[in-house]
């Protein structure tokens, strides 16, 4: 049984359909990340799970109970917001205990829960501070603590790390993952940051235009994207797309032509039977490209730009009119303007239908 199950959900705002006939089930104890560009409906989906907006169609079940029309407080959820949303006039302790006091819990129970959460998040020294006396990272910890003390079945996170600087973001990301392992609770996490999605998720749901494009384990979504949008959204720099045409089929694979560039695509690239002589888009990840000294065997390319990343370099190439990014790790990056040979690991490439953008 799934912890959160959403059926045929529809949300409208004025004339615009934000979500339409959306199905999603989140398993017990899972860390599900909703990933997508802004305006894709991921926050709307989260808010409708939380009960902060009214839905127009469909149903939402949490822990087997129909909560489609339940009040937010009766859904057994805890939520963390991007802007922290701490109550400015209350100190940390009262911020965390507000919900428990509203629920009328006995005093000992409240202080037990607050103590436990503040220990977990290293907030025990800060309990009497006001939010304005805390740093960004501390504020977000308090916001997480406020969700924790509710001992909810499901925790919802709405871009919780977006307001933090890069270093703190990495730190809190690790802490969140640790927290999920300790609690084992179901978590739904909204973000537009693919790194957060890849590192935190048990499963990622990539969204666009109010629809879930693909849902699966992060590695699977990354390696086998369902369409060009998912392929392009995950990974940095993004996947290289090379437009071309399929040729004759042999035992080793299918021939692929893109201008002067020719290659043989192994059969495992294709999910379905490849359409013959059709236009296709070949998708190759930058890290699956290696550079070789220019020779007859490999297609040649010019180096147009090198971005040193510290641990690796991103090399931008002009391969017979196609702009290609390669992520390589060489002691000496290639010189600008030099020509180089390109070797692609085509067993890990993807092919897409240029018209439907779906994977072939």
Question: Which residues of this protein are in contact with other proteins, per CB under 8 A?
Answer: 47, 50-52, 71-73, 77-79, 81-83, 85-89, 98-99, 102-103, 143, 146, 150, 158
Q: Which is nearer to other proteins, 5 or 97 (CB)?
A: 97
| Cα 246 from Cα 280, distance rounded (Å) | 7
Q: Which is nearer to other proteins, 141 or 150 (CB)?
A: 150
Q: How many CA atoms, within 13 angstroms, populate the side-chain half-sphere of residue 58?
A: 21
| Cα 105 from Cα 227, distance rounded (Å) | 50
Strands ordered across the beta sheet of 57-62: 16-27, 2-13, 57-62, 65-66
Q: What does the DSSP assignment read for 149-198?
A: TTT-SEEEEESTTTTS-HHHHHHHHHHHHHHHHHH--EEEEEES-HHHHH
The minimum distance between CB 132 and other proteins, in angstroms, equals 12
Q: Which is nearer to other proteins, 71 or 332 (CB)?
A: 71
Beta partners for residue 65, in sequence order: 62
Q: Which is nearer to other proteins, 103 or 336 (CB)?
A: 103
Q: Which is nearer to other proteins, 37 or 72 (CB)?
A: 72
| Cα 4 from Cα 64, distance rounded (Å) | 8
Beta partners for residue 246, in sequence order: 256
Q: Measured between alpha carbons, how far is residue 228 from residues 50, 96, 208, 267, 347 in Å?
A: 31, 43, 12, 19, 18
178 Cβ neighbours under 8 A, 6+ residues apart: none
The minimum distance between CB 27 and other proteins, in angstroms, equals 23
Q: Which is nearer to other proteins, 147 or 342 (CB)?
A: 147
Q: What does the DSSP assignment read for 228-286?
A: HHHHHHSSSSPPEEEEEEEEEE-SSEEEEEETTEEEEEEGGG-SSPPPTT-EEEEEE-G
The minimum distance between CB 134 and other proteins, in angstroms, equals 16
The minimum distance between CB 101 and other proteins, in angstroms, equals 9
Q: Which is nearer to other proteins, 52 or 328 (CB)?
A: 52
Q: Which is nearer to other proteins, 74 or 307 (CB)?
A: 74
Rg (CA), the chain: 25
Cβ-count burial 123-133 (b if 16+ within 10 Å, e if not)? beebbebbbee
Of the chain, the end-to-end C-alpha distance in Å amounts to 33
The minimum distance between CB 336 and other proteins, in angstroms, equals 38
H-run or E-run covering 301: strand 300-308
Q: Which is nearer to other proteins, 99 or 235 (CB)?
A: 99
Q: Which is nearer to other proteins, 150 or 359 (CB)?
A: 150
């Amino acid at each position: 049984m799934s912890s959160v199950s959403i059926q045929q959900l529809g949300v409208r705002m004025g004339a615009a359909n934000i979500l339409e006939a959306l199905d999603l089930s989140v398993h017990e104890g899972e860390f599900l990340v909703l990933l997508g560009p802004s305006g894709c409906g991921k926050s709307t989906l989260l808010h409708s799970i939380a009960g902060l907006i009214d839905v127009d169609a469909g149903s939402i079940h949490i822990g087997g109970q129909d909560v489609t029309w339940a009040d937010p407080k009766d859904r057994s959820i805890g939520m963390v917001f991007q802007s922290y949303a701490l109550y400015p006039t209350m100190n940390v302790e009262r911020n965390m205990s507000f919900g428990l006091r509203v629920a009328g819990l006995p005093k000992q129970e409240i202080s037990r829960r607050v103590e436990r959460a503040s220990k977990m998040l290293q907030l025990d020294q800060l309990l009497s501070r006001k939010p304005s006396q805390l740093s960004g990272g501390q504020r977000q910890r308090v916001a997480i603590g406020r969700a924790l003390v509710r001992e909810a079945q499901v925790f919802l996170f709405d871009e919780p790390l977006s307001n933090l600087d890069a270093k703190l973001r990495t730190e809190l990301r690790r802490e969140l993952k640790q927290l999920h392992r300790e609690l084992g609770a179901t978590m739904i996490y909204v973000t537009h940051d693919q790194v957060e999605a890849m590192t935190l998720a048990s499963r990622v749901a990539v969204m666009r235009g109010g629809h879930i494009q693909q849902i699966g384990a992060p590695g699977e979504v990354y390696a086998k994207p369902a369409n060009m949008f998912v392929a392009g959204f995950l990974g940095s720099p993004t996947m290289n797309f090379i437009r071309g045409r399929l040729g004759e089929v042999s035992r080793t694979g299918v021939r692929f032509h893109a201008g002067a560039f020719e290659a043989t695509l192994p059969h495992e690239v294709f999910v379905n039977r490849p359409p013959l002589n059709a236009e296709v888009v070949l998708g190759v990840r930058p890290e699956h490209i290696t550079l070789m000294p220019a020779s007859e065997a490999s297609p040649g390319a010019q180096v147009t730009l090198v971005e040193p990343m510290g641990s690796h370099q991103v090399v931008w190439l002009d391969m017979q009119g196609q702009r290609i990014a390669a992520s390589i790790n060489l002691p000496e990056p290639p010189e600008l303007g030099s020509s180089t040979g390109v070797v692609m690991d085509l067993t890990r490439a993807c092919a897409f239908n240029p018209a439907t953008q779906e994977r072939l």
